Amino acid sequence: MAVQKKYALGRGLDALISSEEVKTSGSSSINEIELSKISVNPNQPRREFDPIALQDLAESIGEIGIIQPITLRQLSEDSYQIIAGERRYRASVMAGLTTIPAYIRTADDENVMEMALIENIQREDLNSLEIALAYQHLIEQYGLTQERLSERVGKKRATITNYLRLLKLPAPIQMALKNKEIDMGHARALLALDDPKTQIKIFNEIISQGYSVRKVEEIVKALASGESVESGGKKITPKGTKLSEEYTMLQNHLCSFFGTKVQLSCTPKGKGKISIPFNSESDLERIMEILDSLKKSE
């Protein structure tokens, strides 16, 4: 059976894609699933869950939601079993959630499913998350490297990598990508941020403000440089960029000197930015006069 699978996957796209439609009940997808329809796996090797750590996770989920979807196996139309993520499932129940984002796996015919996955990857109507899930499934099923997978499906390795990275995004962003509320350009820009909470903050601004990919790239670039950004009346500060006591004193001094709330940001490497806001043309003229006076006093 294993030999058959390997041969089928290795025949190439020309041999797999025919004029006849390949039908399969095996697939991978991401959906919001009611917790009441989910059961734990009785063969789960992990039996003990640290109650304190579980409570901490529940509080985190209550605050920002599920970051990484769990993985389920569909047993029937209204029944699912956990493959991976029982701890997230238990914490979600504790947090009072009624649904949870999950990758759904069905595998009634693995041979046909792999053939269909490779064919479907070439279809233009698949969204980027569906393609990412298909790539991930092929890697897991056959133990392929990204390099080998790129050869099998006729795509550059960088393309494979970019799709797989989408699966590292927080679940709400993956759901939005699936529902075409954002496109892959938005998602790829968010991947430049390491902090899931910041990713979700920017994602919410994309939805509420209708930001273009270029705008998101500008915001992410500023945050990555240690700068705070204003969006929709909110100030978003990059993680780990709290000013030292010395820089805070300098910022306060500048605020007092210019008579306005000067913004100062600084990265751990010492690179930063000073921003002097003004409220009107006359306020700008006042600030310019201060700068001019400094130049004259040199």
Residues annotated catalytic, as ranges = 86
The SS3 assignment for 124 reads coil
Contacts of residue 255, defined as CB under 8 A and 6 or more positions apart, other chains included, come to: 261, 262
Do 108 and 139 meet the contact criterion of CB atoms below 8 Å apart?
no
Model confidence at 16: pLDDT above 50: no
The SS3 assignment for 272 reads strand
Please give the structure tokens belonging to residue 156: 């550059």
pLDDT (0 to 100) of residue 121: 62
pLDDT (0 to 100) of residue 238: 73
pLDDT (0 to 100) of residue 33: 93
The overall average pLDDT reported for the chain is: 78
The pTM of this model reads 0.56
Alpha-carbon dihedral sign for residues 72, 73, 74, 80:
negative
Do 169 and 190 meet the contact criterion of CB atoms below 8 Å apart?
yes
Angle of the 146-153 helix axis to the 128-142 helix axis, nearest 10: 120
Say how far apart CA 135 and CA 138 lie, in whole Å: 5
